[in-house]
Structures are given as C-alpha cells and as structure tokens.
Structure 1
C-alpha cells in the first residue's frame, strides 16, 4: 500500500527490533507501530522511543485493530502523532502517511533553518562583541569619556573612562550630581545644551568647558552629543555623547599664545633662520633696532647687517663656535638700514630635531646703547634726586662719610646741616603739586649758589634739604651759612606768576663733637631741626647732648600737665602795659604760670607747646580767660585804677574752636567784665591755615565788643594783606626784635616799619620785652604807643599786681634831648684815648659823649640825638667800620669818622665807598687837623639836617 509513496521502508517484527532500527542511521522519518505485539506491545515501544533522546523526535503512528475511541485517545496522549484503525483503506492510509511524512520533512527543514539562523545570530553576536571590544579599546586608547542622559528618569551614566578621567570610582548617577562637577561659569550653558538637545541626526554643538577633578583641580574638556530616542511629542528621551580631555591642548595653546606675545612684545630683537642662514622670520624689535622691515629681511642672511667693523677672523670664530657648541654669544657691531652703527649683545643658538638634525638658527640681540643708558639712568637715580638733580639721601650720607674721613685726617670739623621749609604743605594744598615742584627746584637753585667749593647740598625728602660742610675751621662758619640760608629762603619766590613767601628751620650738628658717623650726625642734626621748629621756626639750632634728656623731660612734663589744672598748679600772672606818652599803666596781659612739685617752675615756652600738642590748651585756655576776666572785674570794682584793658592770649588751637565766640561771651557774662575792656591776642599762626574761617571768627568776636590784637608781629608772614583783612585794633611787636633793636639795623627796621604800618592803618602799636631805657627811648622816638617788659615790671601774681596798682606807679618819661646842640660821640676801648680826645675837643663847645664799646655807643644813640661819631677802628667786639656800618643803617643822618692806628686800606676804603663812613684819620693824630675835621663834620651834619627839613612835606 505504501510503495506508491516512493519511500524507503524498514520492517521490524517486534518492538525490540523496532527500537534498534530506530537508532540506526539514517533514522526513520516516520514509525508505523502496531499495538498488540508479543513480548513488548506498542505502548511500551512508544514509551521507550520517547524516553530516548536519540529517538524522541521521530513521529509515531499507531496502526492497530483496536478502534475504540478510548484506545485512540490513550495513544494520542502517549505521544502518537496519529491513530489509524484497521482494516486499512489504502488511499486513506497512504494520504495520512504522506501528510505526516511531508509534515516531518517541513519540520526538519524548519529545524535546519533554525539551526542556520541560530548559527548566524551567534556569528553576528560574536562579531558585535568583537566590535564592542575593539570600540572599547579604541575609546580607552583615545581617552574619550561616554555619557548617556535619560530624560524621563534624570539618570546620567558615565562610562569608566570618563570616571577615570575625573579620578572617580563610579558615575555620579543623576544629572544634578553630574552638573556639580562643572565650573560655575560653565554650568548654565552646558545644562541648557543637555536639557535642550537638537533633533536626532544633529549633533549637540561642541563645547569647551571645565570639569572638577576629584583632587580639586580643573580639567579643560570638549564635549559633544546627540539625541538617540524621542518620545511621542518629539522630545528627546535619550541623549548621549563624548567628552575629551583637552587640558594639554589648552596648555599648548596658552603657551603658544604666550610665546607669540613674548616674540612680538620682547624688547630684544629676534631673528630665526633656516640651516642655510636664510632669514625666516623676525620680530618687531628687530625691525625697530635695524630699520629693516620684515619683508625686507625675510629671505636675506644676517650679512645684511654687516657693519665692516669686524674682520673675517671674527665671523669665522663665530661660526666655528656655533658649529661645535651649538651656540655663540658676544658683543657685535652691526649697521642699521640708515647707515648708523649699533652695538649689540648677540646670542645665537642652533635648533635640532629629535634625531639631531639641524633645523634652525635663532638669534637674540639687545641694543647695548639703550641698556647702557638705562644703567646710567638707574645709577643716577640711585644717587640723585630726579626733581632737583641734587644728591639724594644715599649720596649725601656718602659725601658726609667721606668728609668725616678727611676731617679726621686733617683734624678739622665737619658740619651736617638739615633745612626744612616751614609749612610747605600749604603750598601744595593751595597751589597744587606742580607749583610745589617748581618751587622746590627754585629753592634748590638758590641754595646751591651759597655753597663753598667742596661742600655738598642734597635733597633728603619732601621739603627737607641737607648740607655737608667739609673742612670746617670754626663753628662760626656754620652759623654764617645758616643765616645766609635763612636770608635766601626769605627772599620772595616767583613761580608761574605766583609770588610766594617761605621761611625755613635749620638744625646743625658738628663732628667730632656730636658724632663721628654720618648716620649719627644726621640724627643729631634732625634733633636740632626739631628744636628749631619748636622755637617758632625761621631760625636755626645747634645740637647739644642734653637734647636727648630733653625728650625724657618732655614726656614727664606732658604727663604732669594733664593733672596741673585739677591739682591747682596753674596760676595767672599779670604784666603791666605802659604808655610811652604818659608813663601810666594802661593795661595788663594775663600770662600763664605753672609750678609743679616735681619739675618746679616750668617755663611757658616749654609747657604751652606741649598743651597745644596734646589738646590740654583748650580747657587751660578757657580757665585762664575766665580767671583773668573775674580778677579784672574785682580790681575794677575796688576802684584801684581807671579801667584797664585786659589782654588774654588765644592759642592757635584755641582760636580754631568753632564755639570760641560762645566761650568768650560766657566768660564775660560770668565775670561781668565790660567787653571793651577785654583784648584777645591772636598770633599769625592761628589764621594762616584758613584765613576765611579766621576772618569769620574775628568778626564774631568783634560783635561781642572785645578788642583784637595781632601778637608776635614780625615772626611769621607779617603780610600787609592779612593785617588789612582782619579787624585788629592793635599790633604787638615781638620781643625778639626789641631785644637788640638799638644795635641791629634789621630788627630796628622791622620794628620801625611795623610802627609806620600800624599808624597808617589807625592801629595801636605796642612793643614787648622792653628791658632798657635805651630801648624805650628808641621806640618812643619812632612813635611807638606803649611797651611792656622788665623795664617797668615783670609779670606779677595777682596780689603783687594789686599792690602795684594801689601804689599808682608810673614809668618816668624823660624829655628827649633837643637836637639843637652839637653832640659828638667818641668810641674807643682805651680810656686814655677817650680822655685825651675829650680834653682836645671840649674847648670847641661840643657836647661830648664817650663809649668804651659799640654796645655802650648804641645805648647813647638810642637815648639822644648825635650828629657826629668818632670811632676807633680796632676794638675787640666789633671793628670801627662794622660799627659805623650799623650806625649808618640805624641813624643815616649822622656823620661817621674812623680813627685808626694802623693802615687797613682795603676795609676802610670799602667802607667809604659804601657810605658807611665819611672819612678816616690815623693815629697819632694832628690836633689842629682833627679839630678842623670835626668842625667840618658838624657843618656837614647841619647842612644835611637843613636839607632834610626843606624836603619835608608841610
């Protein structure tokens, strides 16, 4: 029945044989199995076939006579693919067998396809694994880091390479955790790029940014990426990208940029050539030094600059050294494009690659002329002041050290002098630093003109100058220079159409007395300078060892002064002011005194500046004002005198108090003293800093009804503009001018000018410190109103001053002798000469005065008119010509004759030429000739007096 199917058929008579045949190759494609068989039925055979892995896949059809539905069901459950009951119908039987064979064939074909497909899948998986491995190796080799961002979960994944790049052991995990590694400046734009990627197919733009390494330093990286998956709305669900460490590249770029800056900005010339010495490139400095443009130099050789100064041997040696040592350096002279020679320091280096092959030559050169000029300028600035071109502090100290060495060798003295311009700060504040600098230059020029040969002038700092006087024979030389310096500074300066007045303070120290080292001498000179400033400025002081002790005393006094007021150590004394017209007391000045248990009586000149510095002058000044006003009121109530005006000093610091007018008003109100009996004395230093505020305060004080006087006139600026702008009632001439007023023409002229100025402005005038009758008569002769000083009375305690008032004491005012009689003053230090001359000339009817010294002569001149003066030339304190030169300034109407016992033609002739003397006579003299010369002198004096009277304005 099955032969028509064209299949191979294998027959088995029992189940055991069937099991053996089933395992034989080729295995059957289909088994037809009877059920009922001896020994082993079909059910057992099927069970064994299914339990054997080699046969379990063979389909089995039961062919049996058992045709009940239960048998068929059981067979199918046991694993048979079909159940055919006997008797068999051939067509049906063949069809069912064919179908199962075809099904088996299809199943086998499908199995073979599955195996082939699995093999292909395995092959491709292996290839992908190999590709992934190679990709991972490639990525690891390139150092690329990989990142993935899952937007829905905010998950960020970094691959191991990226983690290693940043020194991390694991990925941060989230976007925010990843962003924390970004530099704060870069985070906003990188976060925006990740959260808003472009559509798939487009890359996230390449960005350079910084990531923090685990050890804290920053890495420069370059990142890129793109979207890989979108959601239904088109938004990115997954994006990924790479990160590359570009720190090295950034460093190279920075170095390249720095190199470029150095190459173009360096002041040295650079020339780079190829191995054949053809110029490849030059920098800007090369162009500036040589004059050749880059275009002109490139392609040429350095021989372009050859000057012809050096011979062939020089260049041969250069190349030999370059070939053997790969470098050469030295001084060379080249020629610029314009033909000028330029000396350079040249350094040439050979550049070789890693194989040692020569690739380039690099030449670096600098212009030695500029370097030498710079070195000279540096050397100059190290020793000289650039503003004034004077030696600076260093050079001045060196000059002093050299002067000390020479002075020690030749046993001479050396002076160190420091000069500081007073209140120079006001010039800069008022006119500006340019005017101040120009003024310092003019001061330097003026001071240089006063130096001796071999001396040194330098600028130490600011407005302070230093002098070194070498080979000093006597300290008088230093005094003379100091006075000349003060006089030179006092002359008005004109700077930029501005007329400026200055004064200076000077400190002087001498070697070896005050030290033998430059630093020690300048230190002691600085101490002396401070003393000069404390003395009121516009003066000079020498250093003395006790100055160091003075510093300790100053500290002790300052401490004690703070408790002086509380401990009742202060007192007010009163010095009378006397009219030169009537001799009566017209006022009194309240003067502060301090008696301390530890220091005893302390001079006001010592403790008042301390009070100014530490601010104690404010409460002390208020106490003096209220105490003096109350005392003056008591004397007024007692009727001891006619109303006397009380003068109270105001310190500069006290005057600058904004409530000064209220303080004065309170003192007047509490004491009951009439305002017009209070006179407030103000020094120029009180208003020099801010004139407008000072004028405003003076007006407030005048509104109270008090009087104002300008104290210490002549010691400061003494400017007529200041006096005219302020509402002063009186001017007080400082005692420093009165002290030698009868013999010092300068001070006499200042005092006289002050008197004339005061009268022209309708101001009262008073002179302080009058101690002699001669001084009083001199001032009275110049129409001074009043005086105060020891001539009448020192400052007295209140009780003693009250007794003076009660006694009605007055100053005797002698009548000024008439100028009608002929008065002759004879000056000679030898009494026998005076007696002889007096006897000789008394017969002529002259009123004869005699003096044994110039000082005595000045006393006579101050007390009465003298027409003719006969002076000896040779006197110990002062020569006759010097004495008469002063007399000419003080009393120009006198006729002055010198009597000398030796011939000093030059000095006497010079005095005659200057007008200091009328003529000179020699010893021994001829009596008749001498009498005739004196008569002629009186006739000349009479003519001069008549001419002066005729010239007076009626």
Structure 2
C-alpha cells in the first residue's frame, strides 16, 4: 500500500522513494512494489523529492523519473549527490528514455541502475529488491568496518548468503548470463539463458552462438562482441532477435562489460546478461497502435479519473468541442453541457452507467464558441482487477457531420455538383412527372437537349478549371431562359436537358430554343479573353414523338445529332425521317467496314483547268463508293462515317497509294507529265504521327515524283493544335510535295493565320462559287481570298465552277484555275485517261474590252425591253438585255457594263434590291431605275444609300430618257479617268 505523502514509514522496513510527475506512473510503480515488504514514499516533483530524501528514516532507494517539468531527474540526482546527507542513497533512473547514450549518461552521473518504461513487474521488483538488499549490505558492511572486526567470519557468511540471494534474485528475474573468453574463443551460457531459448546446452564458440541470432541483427552483435569497448564501458545491444528452439523469435536485450584484461590492456573476458523483452515489445506495439487509434480516430475521446476529472483528450475531441487539451484537462465534461437536457436525463445516464458500466445515446452539447453540436456518446467505466472503479472513457461522434454527409450523398444522387442543376436521374424523374400531368390535362411536353459545340477546345486551351467556370456560367444563363415549373438539368459533361411541362404549342419550344442559342452566343470571359461558344439543340415533343421518358430522350438525341450534322449552332425538331436516317447511317457504317475488302471503293479524277490557257494542269483524286445494297453513296454521307469510326485511316491510305500508282502510269504514258495529282487528307489522317512516313512510302512504291503530288488539307485538320500542325506540314514539305489549303473560307482562315503554314495553293470552297456572280458577300470572300493568296505568292483555285459566267467572274479577278462541271465532272480512271489523251481544253475567250459604251437593260416584260432597245440603239451604245436580275448578273460577270437601266417591279427581286447587290459587286456602274409613283419611297431610300444614280418614272419621256442615259455614260467616263489617275 502506498503511504500518504505526509507520513513516514516504519524504520524497520525499507523505504523506497518514488519520484514522477505523472500520478498514473506513481500508481503503477506503487502497485508493482506492493508485493515487496517496503514502505513507499511518493513525490510528484524534484523539490519534494529532495525534502523527502532527508526525512528520517531516509529512503533506502530512490526511483527517479528523468523527464519532469521544472527540475528534471538529472538535476535531482546532482543535488542528492552534492548533499552529504543524501549522497549515499542509491538512485535508479526509471524513464521512457531508452537509448544507450541516455542510459550511459545516467549511470555515469551516479545512478546505480537504469530501468526503462513500460515497467515489467517481475523485473522491476527484482531490481528494486536487489538494490535494496545491496544498500542494506553496504550499510551493514559499513557498520562492520566501524568496529566489528571480530565478526569477520559472520560477515563472510552473510556475504555468501547475500551472493546466494543475489543469484536467486537473478534467476527469479529470468536474466540469462553469458561469459566469453577471448583467448580460447569459448562462450558459456548459464542455465537460465539456455532455458530462455529452449536449449539443453550452451553453445561452445562465439560463431555457434551467432547461429541463434536473427540474420538481420547478426552483424551488429558480432561487431560489439569482437570489438568490445574499453574497460568500464558497457556492451549494450538494446534490442535484437534470438531464435527459440521451437523456431519462433524472441525479442531480447543484452548488456555486458569487460572483466579481465591482460598486461597490454587487451580484453580477456567479458560477461553480461540477456533479458527477454518480448512481452515488453508486444506492449510497446500495442501501445503504439493504441496511440495511433487514439490520435487518428475521427471520433472524440475523453478519459477521466473516477471523479470525472479529465485526464486526456484526443485531437477529434478538441476539433469538435473547440477546447484545447490544456483547457480541458482537470475540468469535468460538465463544461460541455448545452442546457438542452434536464436533470432527469443526466440522472438516468448515471443510473445506467453505474449499473451496467456503460451508457450510450444521443446528446446535445455546446462547443466553446457556443454552437450546439449533436453527438452520439458512449461512456464506459474502467475497473481494475479488484473491480474498483479507476476511470471513465467517453467516445463520441459528431452526428451533424454524418447528417451533412447523408444530405450531401442524397443531394449528389439527384443533382450535379458543379452546376447545382438536376442530374440525369432527377431530370428523367421530372420528365416522368411532367408526362403524367400532361396526359391528365391533354397538354404537350417538350424535351430539349443542348450540347455545347467543340467545348473540348476550351479545356485544352485554358484548362479544366476555366472550363468548369464556363459551364457554371452556361448553367446560370440557361436557368434564366426557362419558365417556373420547367426543369433544367445537366445530363453529361457539356450536355444539358430541358423539360417543358404543360406546353400549349410547338412554337413555345421553338422560342425557347432560340433564346437558349442567343444566351449561349453572348461572349464569355476566360482569363481576361473574350470567348464565343455555340450550341446544338435537339427537340422532341410528347405525345407526338413518344410518351415515355426513354423514347422522348432517344428521339431528342436523334434530333440533336441532326442539328450537329447541319453545321452546329442550330436546333432541330425530331421527325420520323430521322429514325430512317439513323437506321441508314447504321447500315452504311456496317457496310463500309467491308467496302475495301469487297472492292466497292473506286478513285475518280476531276481535272483542274488553268484560267489563263484553258489547259488541264492537274487532277484531284476523289473517292467514290458503290454498294450493292445502297447503290452509289455520296462522299458527303460516308466520309464523315469513316472519320467517326476510324476507317478513314486505312481507306485514306488506300486512296493515296491507288492515286499515286495511277498518276505514275499516266506519267509513263506521257499523258500527265506536267500535271499534278491532288489527294485529300482527312483531319484524322493529318493527326497521325506517321503521316510523313506513309506519304514517303506511297511515293517510293509508286515511283511518282514528289513534286507531282499535292496534298489537300482542310482547316479543320489543324485548328485544334496549330503549332503541331505547322510542324507536320514542314515534315511533308521536306519530302518535296506540294500542300494545298482546301475549303478555304469555311473556317477561321485569315492572312496572319495562313501565312504561318508552308502552303503552295489555296482552294476557294464551292459554297462561295455557287452564287458568286449574284451574292456580294460570297463574291467579296472569294475576291479577298484571291487577293490574300497573291499577297502570299500562293496559287488560287476555285472549286465547283459550273457556268461560264462564274469562270469569267473569277478570271476577271485573277483567279489562277478552276475545277468543276463547267469543264468536266469527276471521271473514272479509264474515262479520265481518254480525256487526257484527247488533249481537251477549256475555251478561254479574251476578256471584253471596256472601250465600248455598254448599256444593260433589265426588265421582265419583253415588249418594254424591245421599246427601250429601239429608243437607245440610235445613240451608238452596245446594248445588252436581260429579262431577270439573274440574267443580268450573267452579263455583268462576262463583260464590263457601264450603265444599267432596270425596271423596279420584277418577280425575282425589286430593282432597288438588284441595284444594291450590283453596287457591291460592280461599284463603278451607273445605275438608273424605272419606277412607278407608288414605289418612290423605296427608290428614294436606295438613292440615299448610293445604290441608285437616278430614277425615271413610267411612262417615260423619250428625250428625257435619252439625255439621262447620255449623262450617265459621261459620268461613267469621268469615273474611269479619275480611277485611272488614282492608279497612276
């Protein structure tokens, strides 16, 4: 039993003074020493220990902790040794510091022993008992030396008894003893050590003893044994493993010292002990695991003494309650009371805890900052072996976090975390509810699917965080466009869905689609840059297009795909024909996979003609597909399919090889020696890393000269990564081939953009050529392309030329070459060979001189045309007539016209509209309109805009008309002189 600090034990019993700043450690030491017949004196700090050391009877042994606040163990030991009254008291350091240097320092300072924590009861008691006995022995010897020489025999006997007792103590402690004789290389283990390892006999040599040591520890043990420290220094190997006879490994701790030296100071004998620390090691591991659990667990833990004073808390406790460990320790958990529970609640808690040693339930506590927190609390009572209450352990979890997590999980199951819009599941559920209500009230429901066009470029250019921010802004804009009661959801990365419930008319969905496109079209801001986005929309209506969510979503998906095929930035309503198109697309895709193997593909060749000479200067290889099931399939239909499924790669390579071999054959026949073969590269082909090797192989295998091959690249092939595309173009140019930019004007082409690429030719897309003579916008684009090409020293070719007027228009603007039905459609190889053999050429007439005064009269009534022609022919003008504006544009494209006289009222377009286009296409012409009085307002507006020079009313005055036409020609001549002067 531990005595109170104020009491002194009986003088007849040994007194042990235990010093430790941790009450729990003092309690453990006291419990372990209860089996010894000693009086225990306890001190919780250094100053108290120094006082108790001088009290009578003085301690026979002091167990001194090293790490103590204020005055540590080293200072206490120094003070004890400095005091003559206490210097004789043996001191044992009892500490958690277990390094050899710490132990060595302690022993050198004067400690008689060094015991590390955690304590092993048997070893601890044995060592304490041993040192008490040693103290008593020393005291007894001192008394005998003081005047009891006559009792030498008795003292010798007592010494023998003491040695026997010491041996018994060592045996009881379980310590194994070893001796090593260096001269004979003989080692001896005592019985206890052999028994510890389950051996019947001791090993004989040092090498034999090493066989029992774990291979990983053997080197350092051998180093310590074969090279012992100087005399007085200790051989200490704190932890190593030795194998038991049954095969399992023991953790042991070894100590030793040199005992005998020869005349040169060389060690002759070392001896020492080995103790089994397996149990201690297991406790340490368990304590370490317990510490990890205690500190790492997400639940709060609070440990109190039997009086509910808090002893320790973990990090989770501090995080949840807001109290630090220093603020909590020493107080009771009552500091957390919230006031939400009455006295009866706590009485019931303690009644259950006292009866069952456990209570658990939900409780509301109050954090340090005053915030309430709901917890699930589990309190357990801790008792010792005797059943006495020692501690309480409280473990609680923050239910608010779990509730928030559960709410978050519930939210994520229905909503998109990025945009906070309903996700695919909730959108489908809302659609189901909308269909039920629509059916009940005989209303329509619309499903609208919106997908952002080419949004991948945003992430690649600006990074995913910017992309996420843009998606959030898109979601915000879309929400502003819908009615209350409608649903906006996010179905996937860039696809959004809309459910329009209780829709009265189809035009409501039409209007919403328009608003959505307009909302997306407003520029976005990305990293300080203005960014334009577009979207494609597909719409399906219930019950017309389906009456279930799956059907409506499927049909809306089909409509969305059609909107993308239509060029994007538009919307499409679903129609049954789309299903047929989808089925045809699937059938075509399946058939296309076998087209090469079945010899269904063919290469046709369309000639390219010079606008200077009219001669064929090249040919473009064009792919054609004729399938037994689908017949002749348009390239516009099957090429995108091949792009999507990757078949374009083998097909494109086949076209390249086939065309190169054919061109080589024509070169060998002398039919195409000055001609150049143009082959299209798809966007997917162009992105292949081995493209240059593929082209080089086609040239090598066919024998076609590199300068006879021209590869046509569309802008979509390199718009995603310009720098990489430029590098690939330079690789191709190194082969000696030519490069052409195809479909110019349909993308983002500009002078600064195209100038970075090593192109040799630019091809104007046929969409601009088709109405080039009558559409000022397309004419301006084509003209700009020609000017740009010439500024970059590139040749220029126009595709899709079908009329002489188109050819003359392009020639007049210095276009180099044309390709189209005007000269020849694409032909099979055999027919194209005949065309080459026939040396066919395009008739190229000289461009008309503008020396003659040319008048163009436009009127849809032939009798008026005749009357005006007769009236003005006597003036000596060259007169051209047209019965429609389209005919007039043909004339204007073929030859220069100085003055145009046009009727105002015509079926195709009015005279003012006709002249507005003419003003943009041929600004130097002088334009006169014949109109009735009812049209004066529109004519006046055209005059103010500069589209009309003058107007004459019907019926006209002949003399006035002739004079106005003469004046118009005089004005035209003055304009010519002025323009000529400006040019010079």
Contact 2:786 2:814 in 1 (8 A): no
Q: 2:722 aligns with which of 684, 691, 698?
A: 691
Secondary structure of 1:796's aligned partner: coil
Q: 1:347 aligns with which of 360, 368, 378?
A: 378
Q: 1:761 aligns with which of 788, 791, 796?
A: 788
1:322 and 1:702 map into 2 onto residues whose CA distance is 88
2:259 and 2:824 map into 1 onto residues whose CA distance is 115
1:241 and 1:203 map into 2 onto residues whose CA distance is 9
Specify whether residues 585 and 370 from structure 1 end up closer, same or farther in structure 2 by C-alpha distance, changes over 3 A only: same
Contact 1:777 1:863 in 2 (8 A): no
1:355 and 1:638 map into 2 onto residues whose CA distance is 112
State the partner residue of 2:643: 609
Verify: 1:620 aligned to 2:649, yes or no: no
Specify whether residues 602 and 427 from structure 1 end up closer, same or farther in structure 2 by C-alpha distance, changes over 3 A only: same
State the partner residue of 2:829: 798
Specify whether residues 213 and 309 from structure 1 end up closer, same or farther in structure 2 by C-alpha distance, changes over 3 A only: same
Q: 1:467 aligns with which of 476, 490, 497?
A: 497
* 1:507-586 correspondence to structure 2 within 5 Å: 544=579, 554=589, 557-558=592-593, 561=596, 563=597, 570-576=601-607
Q: 1:589 aligns with which of 620, 624, 644?
A: 620
- Tell me how far 1:476 sits from its aligned partner: 9.0
Which shows bigger deviation, 657-666 or 345-354? 657-666
State the partner residue of 2:53: none
* 1:781-860 correspondence to structure 2 within 5 Å: 794-801=825-832, 806=838
1:773 and 1:483 map into 2 onto residues whose CA distance is 41
Q: 1:362 aligns with which of 384, 393, 397?
A: 393
* 1:317-716 correspondence to structure 2 within 5 Å: 317-392=348-423, 395=426, 415=447, 417=449, 419=451, 421-422=453-454, 424=456, 427-449=458-480, 456-459=487-490, 463-469=493-499, 471=501, 493-500=524-531, 544=579, 554=589, 557-558=592-593, 561=596, 563=597, 570-576=601-607, 588-594=619-625, 604=635, 605-606=637-638, 609=643, 613=647, 615-617=649-651, 619-627=653-661, 629-630=663-664, 633=667, 637=671, 647-652=678-683, 655=686, 657=690, 659=692, 663=696, 670=703, 679-695=710-726, 698=729, 708-713=739-744, 715-716=746-747
Task: Output one character per residue of 1:732-753: Cα deviation in whole Å (capped at 9) or x when no partner.
Answer: 455677889999xxxx798456
1:722 and 1:264 map into 2 onto residues whose CA distance is 62
State the partner residue of 1:100: none
Q: TM-score, normalised by structure 2?
A: 0.58
- Tell me how far 1:797 sits from its aligned partner: 1.5
Q: Between Structure 1 and Structure 2, how many residues are aligned?
A: 740
Contact 2:450 2:535 in 1 (8 A): no
- Tell me how far 1:279 sits from its aligned partner: 3.6
Structure 1, gaps ≥5 residues long = 1-119, 826-837, 846-856, 872-882, 895-929
Contact 1:416 1:468 in 2 (8 A): yes
Specify whether residues 615 and 292 from structure 1 end up closer, same or farther in structure 2 by C-alpha distance, changes over 3 A only: closer
State the partner residue of 2:224: 193
Which shows bigger deviation, 775-784 or 446-455? 775-784
2:629 and 2:187 map into 1 onto residues whose CA distance is 88
- Tell me how far 1:254 sits from its aligned partner: 3.2
2:567 and 2:272 map into 1 onto residues whose CA distance is 85
State the partner residue of 1:8: none
- Tell me how far 1:205 sits from its aligned partner: 1.9
Secondary structure of 2:306's aligned partner: coil
Q: 2:280 aligns with which of 242, 249, 254?
A: 249
Contact 1:618 1:653 in 2 (8 A): no
Contact 2:904 2:911 in 1 (8 A): no
- CA RMSD between the two structures: 6.1
2:298 and 2:819 map into 1 onto residues whose CA distance is 75
Task: Output one character per residue of 1:744-790: Cα deviation in whole Å (capped at 9) or x when no partner.
Answer: xxxx7984563254144145766655789999999999999876556
Structure 2, gaps ≥5 residues long = 1-152, 849-853, 869-883, 892-899, 919-930, 951-970, 980-984
Q: 1:220 aligns with which of 248, 251, 268?
A: 251
Task: Output one character per residue of 1:799-841: Cα deviation in whole Å (capped at 9) or x when no partner.
Answer: 43456675767799999xx99767689xxxxxxxxxxxx99x9
- Tell me how far 1:591 sits from its aligned partner: 0.8
Specify whether residues 223 and 704 from structure 1 end up closer, same or farther in structure 2 by C-alpha distance, changes over 3 A only: closer
State the partner residue of 2:347: 316
Contact 1:742 1:858 in 2 (8 A): no
1:634 and 1:583 map into 2 onto residues whose CA distance is 24
Specify whether residues 202 and 621 from structure 1 end up closer, same or farther in structure 2 by C-alpha distance, changes over 3 A only: same
State the partner residue of 1:927: none
Contact 1:630 1:673 in 2 (8 A): no
Specify whether residues 695 and 810 from structure 1 end up closer, same or farther in structure 2 by C-alpha distance, changes over 3 A only: same
Specify whether residues 267 and 148 from structure 1 end up closer, same or farther in structure 2 by C-alpha distance, changes over 3 A only: same
Secondary structure of 1:255's aligned partner: helix
